[in-house]
Chain A
């Protein structure tokens, strides 16, 4: 096998490993909701808006330039971040739903989820601690 081929395979493997950091959807530990990927998609598309019982879901997002957000948009929603921004602008300008609130970091998402039973967010799996509950692993 040529050296260039070996290098190519190695680089591809390393790139794949670095991109594959797990992302988890988190909710408040007191929230008993069971989430599926389809349900998370419905919430983050603006279709579903409330928890069981009718209490609204407060969605949280990360900044548009966040690699975790790009990975979440692709993995959970099958869209690019730009496509998701357009979808939410459509929801907002038609009075359907307000976009998720943007937080600056995983730590801020955790803090917001830990302090509200209505909140739902996503963070890197490595950022999880016992202040939040993992509702879905992507």
Chain B
């Protein structure tokens, strides 16, 4: 009993000290607008955000009528040259909900001019945002499209395994082929099932001027139900379009997830216009249904109109304020914060956030 308590205290001290170290590191580096370069072999980048969220009825992402400061994130990405062709990459993150952990870490190797491989815990190459979903500084809105919100269950964070990237310059643009395999990594794995295997890929095409990108990504996981040991396949896929000429940034994605006879879908159309170098406005229509067979029940779908403004305080510091006008409360039900039949059909979520990077 004493030993358990002692271990718990040690764990708590470790979390607090690492998180403290992250904050100290950020304070130290925040004055620099560039990465911190420790000689020629080690480079550290960092980014983070702090949100204030408030809803007028349904609780979601920990926010309710009284508001919440619990959505925050601090990440440090380090790359270390191992040799001429190989690097170690790692991201250490800290946030209020999950404490401190390595989000991903992998070693890559450049086999040839076009072919690169990586092995370790690797972010799933999925859609437009999955690899950079934590770096809100780089996104259009403060709260990401529903496809990337955990409650929609459309994406995993990372996989443990190996992958290959093949870059191909074609006369009229550039294509990136990516394939990977391993096990899906889940910070909060379900208690009744276990991911045994994952295989997937993504193909990305961009035009020569890089203003237009198309992506097709998907993966299959083989899931074991622990109760009876049976294996079941689970499929996820995303189709993406990104058009970003000059002052415009237009994105659209459609995602689908199928498991055990249940199909869920989500899609969005989003546009941003930069009025000046500092000020931009954005709008998004977002739709998610967590069970297609119950798509007429407000507890299983959510239609959202997002309106927001971004102000760039400095090169590496942005402020955003946005309102989510929701019809249906499928995501609060899926996240377990509201029970089906107990939520408000029409509700608002307001998010104000500050983002930084270095």
CB 8 Å contact bits of A32-59 with B (1 = contact, 0 = none): 0000001101100101111111111000
Known: A38-B169, A89-B45. A95 touches B91 (CB 8 A): yes
B43 within 8 A of A: yes
**Segment touching B, from A4-12, A22-30, A78-86, A103-111:** A78-86
Distance of A85 Cα from B131 Cα, bound (Å): 17
Number of A-B contacts (CB under 8 A): 96
Known: A50-B113, A82-B277. A39 touches B84 (CB 8 A): no
CB 8 Å contact bits of B100-115 with A (1 = contact, 0 = none): 0000101010111111
Shortest beta-carbon distance, A51 to chain B, in Å? 7
B131-A94 in contact (CB<8A)? yes
Shortest beta-carbon distance, A110 to chain B, in Å? 18
Chain B residues within 8 Å of A52, by CB: 113
Distance of A45 Cα from B208 Cα, bound (Å): 11
What is the chain A residue whose CB lies nearest that of B204?
A47
A41-B210 in contact (CB<8A)? yes
Shortest beta-carbon distance, B124 to chain A, in Å? 11
What is the chain B residue whose CB lies nearest that of A93?
B135
B315-A82 in contact (CB<8A)? yes
Distance of A95 Cα from B84 Cα, bound (Å): 17
A90 within 8 A of B: yes
Known: A82-B277, A93-B135, A102-B34. A56 touches B169 (CB 8 A): no
A90-B210 in contact (CB<8A)? no
Known: A48-B167, A95-B89. A78 touches B132 (CB 8 A): no
A47-B176 in contact (CB<8A)? yes
What is the chain B residue whose CB lies nearest that of A56?
B110
Chain A residues within 8 Å of B335, by CB: none
Known: A38-B169, A78-B210. A54 touches B85 (CB 8 A): yes
Chain B residues within 8 Å of A64, by CB: 33, 315
How many B residues face the partner with a CB closer than 8 A? 45
How many A residues face the partner with a CB closer than 8 A? 32
Shortest beta-carbon distance, B123 to chain A, in Å? 6
Distance of A32 Cα from B206 Cα, bound (Å): 27
A92-B112 in contact (CB<8A)? no
B220 within 8 A of A: no
B197 within 8 A of A: no
Which of B108, B134, B138, B169 makes the CB contact (< 8 A) with A89?
A: B138
Which of B85, B104, B113, B174 makes the CB contact (< 8 A) with A95?
A: B104
B135-A95 in contact (CB<8A)? no
Chain B residues within 8 Å of A102, by CB: 34
What is the chain A residue whose CB lies nearest that of B244?
A83
What is the chain B residue whose CB lies nearest that of A87?
B210
B35-A48 in contact (CB<8A)? no
B193 within 8 A of A: no
A121 within 8 A of B: no
Distance of A76 Cα from B322 Cα, bound (Å): 35
Chain A residues within 8 Å of B116, by CB: 49
Chain A residues within 8 Å of B35, by CB: 92, 98-99
Known: A54-B113, A78-B210, A95-B89. A90 touches B277 (CB 8 A): no
A95-B77 in contact (CB<8A)? yes
Please list the residues of chain B having a beta carbon within 8 angstroms of any beta carbon in chain A: 33-35, 43, 45, 47, 75, 77, 79, 84-85, 87, 89, 91, 104, 106, 108, 110-116, 118, 122-123, 131-132, 134-135, 137-138, 167, 169, 174, 176, 206, 208-211, 277, 315, 357
12 extra A-B contacts, CB within 8 A, seeds A89-B45, A93-B47 = A54-B110, A54-B115, A56-B110, A89-B135, A89-B137, A90-B132, A92-B35, A92-B79, A93-B77, A93-B138, A94-B123, A95-B123
What are 14 A-B interface contacts by the 8 Å CB criterion? A38-B208, A47-B176, A50-B110, A54-B112, A55-B85, A56-B110, A77-B210, A78-B211, A82-B315, A89-B137, A90-B135, A93-B135, A95-B104, A98-B79
